[in-house]
Amino acid sequence: MPEISDIALHRVSTAEAVADALVGLIVSGTLPAGEPLRESSLAAKLGVSRNSLREAIRLLERSRLVQYEIHRGAIVSTPTLEDLDDLTRTRRQLELAAVRCTPSEAQLEQLRAAFAQLTRTSEQQRAEAIVAADLALHQAIVDLLGSERMSSFYRQIGKELVFYFTVLSYTDEEYAHPKASIIDRHQGIIDAILSGDRDRAHDLLAGHIEENHERLAEILTARIAAAAPAATR
């Protein structure tokens, strides 16, 4: 597991770059759930200004990787199995309903573009960029519903899904071999939607969502057990 001092940033000052570094520390467990994010020490160890660090923390709030608590300030969020289950139920309802729809040509073009972007982005082998493109593809699937309210709602839960997708990407190192772990898994779903095979699209997508849920539940269960005090084990 990397130490904070091992990944000090050099000649990098943008909030996005600092946020990327913090995400890596959080999902690797170097900054564990419940850990306060002390600006002075973190800024010094990462080699950035406190202003850049503060902006990065605000960016991570949007994806719920970080939350603020009274008297404690910014801390690393604690994910729960209940949150994961609820998000998965929501995904199933929206995404599986979407692939049952009859899409317009404009919607199909948006879907093709999103998959092409995921394919291009995967070549970078950067977890955060791949996760963003992955979520954009699933957003394009939900957009097949043709409902701005549902699309807007999915964009909101996408901010939470960032955490889980990123944890999965880092833990299983999906970003390092994206073709087998990401592109091939989505290719069948997209092909089925584009060909109009709704049943196959539904079954493939349902399997994909369930596979993600089961693996994430395993990861979170292991993390919760590891974080439990020795006296309670």
pLDDT tens for 167-206 read 888 888 888 888 888 999 999 999 999 999 999 999 999 9
Q: Which tokens is 24 given?
A: 């890596």
Strand, coil or helix: 147: coil
Q: What pLDDT does residue 9 have?
A: 46
Beta partners for residue 100, in sequence order: none
Q: Where are the domains of the chain?
A: 4-76, 81-226
pTM of the shown model: 0.75
Q: What pLDDT does residue 232 have?
A: 53
Query: Among candidates 114, 117, 131, which has minimal Cα distance to 175?
Result: 131
Contact present, 96 and 202 (Cβ < 8 Å): yes
Type of residue found at 201: A
The residue ranking higher by pLDDT, 6 or 212, is 212
CATH class of 4-76: mainly alpha
Q: What share of the chain is helix, strand, coil (3-state, %, to 5)?
A: 75, 5, 20
Helix ranges (H only) for 36-147 are 39-46, 50-62, 81-98, 105-122, 127-142
Contact present, 13 and 19 (Cβ < 8 Å): no
The residue ranking higher by pLDDT, 82 or 225, is 82
Contact present, 115 and 190 (Cβ < 8 Å): yes
CATH topology of domain 81-226: Four Helix Bundle (Hemerythrin (Met), subunit A) (1.20.120)
Residue pLDDT, tens place only, 74-130? 998 887 899 899 999 999 999 999 999 999 999 999 999 999 999 999 998 888 889
Q: Taking all residues of the chain, what is their mean pLDDT, rounded to a whole number?
A: 87
